[in-house]
């Protein structure tokens, strides 16, 4: 268990080892994502409580490659009809948090598939803009705006 307000290199090394072990026996990417989010939620503490109220795990996919139900979520998020097929979408693989509705990616409202339509759209969505730096450094596979 690591105290997030005193997180040090040793903690990072221990958490990294835990995450590698957690993912080793995963049966799918979704299973691995669920295990990773659970591990972080349980191990990162603020006193005796979880330090993070919500942890989500996303992967990018082109809109055209999403299954129909996720395409529907992406269209609803965009409010503009279907985005171009090559549009990258953040796809929620796992979620865990303090509220019951935060513990199921299927029950997640508005986060199952988020199309990354433009730099303006990304900058207006705080959760997304904090994930993607303005210059896109370290975000291979995401659109360059």
Residues 7-43 have pLDDT tens digits of 889 888 988 898 898 888 899 999 999 999 999 999 8
pTM of this structure: 0.80
**Dist CA 36 CA 21 (whole Å):** 10
**Mean pLDDT value across residues 74-101:** 87
Segment among 49-53, 86-90, 116-120, 140-144 with least mean pLDDT? 140-144
Extents of the domains making up the chain:
1-52, 57-136
Which residue reads 């990304």 in tokens? 122
């Amino acid at each position: 268990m690591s105290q997030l307000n005193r997180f040090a290199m040793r903690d990072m090394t221990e958490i990294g080892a835990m995450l590698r072990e957690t993912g080793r026996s995963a049966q799918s990417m979704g299973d691995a994502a669920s295990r990773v989010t659970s591990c972080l939620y349980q191990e990162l503490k603020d006193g005796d409580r979880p330090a993070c109220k919500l942890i989500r795990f996303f992967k990018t996919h082109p809109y055209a490659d999403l299954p129909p139900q996720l395409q529907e979520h992406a269209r609803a998020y965009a409010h503009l009809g279907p985005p171009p097929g090559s549009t990258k979408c953040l796809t929620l693989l796992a979620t865990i948090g303090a509220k019951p509705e935060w513990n199921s990616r299927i029950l997640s409202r508005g986060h199952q598939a988020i199309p990354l339509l433009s730099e303006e759209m990304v900058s207006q969505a705080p959760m997304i803009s904090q994930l993607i730096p303005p210059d896109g450094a370290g975000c291979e596979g995401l659109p360059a705006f």
